[in-house]
Amino acid sequence: MKIARFSRIGFILAAAGSAVGLGNIWKFPYITGENGGGAFVFVYLITVLMIGFTLMIAEMLIGYVGRRDSVSNFEELAPRHKNLWKYGGFMSIAGLIIMTFYSPVIGWTFHFVLLSLGSLPASVEVAKEHFTTLLSLDIGTQIFYHTLVFLFVTTVVARGIKGGIEKLNFFLMPVLIVTMGSMFVYATTLSGFTQSWDFMFGVDWSKLTSASLVTAVGHAFFTLSLGMATILTYSASLPKDSNLVRSSLIVIALDTGIALVAGLTLFTFLYEYGASPSAGPGLVFISLPAVFSEMGVAGHFFAFTFFVALASAGLTSAVSLVEPFIQYLVDRFKFSRLKASVASGLFFYIFGIVAILSTSKEYGEILTFGSKNFFDWADFITASVMLPIGGLIMAIFVGHVMQEERVASVLKRDLGFFYPYWYFSLRYIVPIALFVVVLNLVGVLNL
């Protein structure tokens, strides 16, 4: 089936919208805080270039050359063992599994958008109690927002590449960039900005542990939406004469730039009002609302704009998470776009409710298996197993299975003298790095 085409700017915004998600604005600041600041950021930036850039070009190449869904691309591009390699394309199911917990988290951002219009928690203790109550007792509120996310995402993807995904990113990505940019400009006027800058870019190697190194490598990979067939699927809709290298660099620049801006801005507010940058996962939903409350009327404005930006980042990523499997259903089983969108949406909606219930006080014990509840298992299985394995499959496929002549015919001109280094990195450095990340995350290595 012929796939609708992005415009060049539409692809850039869609791919950036996929990469720029909650991981940039929520996760990156708090893991930077937990891992000592500047040294961690330095390693993160290096690995974005060495691993993220290398693998993004490889994933783009598969979609750009194959021009179909992920399963069909692997099957058709493999010179031999086609029936075996087609299973590599089923990495697209990872996006639907991620959405089972990602959708409820986007719902939290909706909740805090409304909260910012009313009464913000006056202290960290009050904010922690509010957030804990939301997760453990207020099931109805979470399901309500989760339903809104389901309806929004399903409506957008049902409208297709041009009418839905491209239009959404044409609107939300500028909103996100302008919002975070405006908050950053304001942050530069505060005295806490100097402390924030020193923390983010002042390199103290004594604060960097071996575990921090692995975390930096893992986050550099995951933040770019690699290993789940999103970039692959979007690249199948690129115009024929596209420059994959330039597109990759722009997407990575936007993704990394927004992460750094978010970190600098959030840490500035935290330092300005005496909060800790090492507050962990609760930094955005617990520490930051309390800081905004201390800012008075201005705090409500910044809280509203920040959580709108966070919701925007979440929604653009959410659309990209379900698109690969939708394209698979349309391409391989001739589903209508609407039918494929509803089927995929219902999957993450139903299991998203299970994820919500698993964090509640009433149903949490029933939905806990071993040391983790359903919500945490969905996060662990995708982040620790499926995405790294998806990245490994793509690196091995492009670096060792596809004919090098075919790879070189698309990339050698645009990469120029850098092509041999990129190809060596894809064949050896990226697989080794991802293999170490997988072993560490599943507990084989205790780094």
Separation of alpha carbons 237 and 247, rounded Å: 13
Separation of alpha carbons 25 and 415, rounded Å: 31
Q: What is the DSSP string of 233-261?
A: HHHTTS-TT--HHHHHHHHHHHHHHHHHH
Residue 271, both tokens? 């330092």
By C-alpha distance, which of 55, 43, 384, 54 is closest to 216?
43
Count of C-beta atoms within a 10 Å radius of residue 312: 27
Count of C-beta atoms within a 10 Å radius of residue 170: 15
SS3 state of residue 90 = helix
Instruction: Give the pLDDT of residue 4.
Output: 60
Domains assigned to the chain:
8-441 (1.10.4160)
Separation of alpha carbons 245 and 431, rounded Å: 20
Alpha-carbon distance values, 179 to 173, 185, 232, 391 (Å): 10, 10, 29, 32
Separation of alpha carbons 319 and 313, rounded Å: 10
Instruction: Give the pLDDT of residue 278.
Output: 66
Separation of alpha carbons 337 and 327, rounded Å: 8
Per-residue pLDDT of the chain (447 residues; tens, 9 = 90+): 445 667 778 778 788 777 777 778 877 888 888 888 888 899 889 888 888 899 999 999 999 999 999 999 999 999 999 999 999 999 999 999 999 999 999 999 999 999 999 888 988 899 999 999 999 999 999 999 999 999 999 999 999 877 788 888 888 888 888 988 999 999 999 999 999 999 899 888 887 887 777 777 777 767 788 889 999 999 988 888 889 999 999 999 988 998 899 889 988 988 888 777 766 667 788 888 988 998 888 889 989 999 998 899 899 999 999 999 999 999 999 999 999 999 999 999 999 999 999 999 999 999 999 989 999 999 888 877 888 889 999 999 999 999 999 999 999 999 999 999 999 999 999 998 888 777 776 665 555
Residue 73, both tokens? 């691309």
Q: Do the bridges between strand 372-373 and strand 368-369 make them parallel or antiparallel, or are there none, so unpaired?
A: antiparallel
Instruction: Give the pLDDT of residue 1.
Output: 46
By C-alpha distance, which of 250, 258, 194, 195 is closest to 60?
250
State the pTM of this model: 0.90
Instruction: Please count the CA atoms within 13 angstroms of the CA of 232 that sit on its side-chain side.
Output: 34
Paired strand residues for 92: none
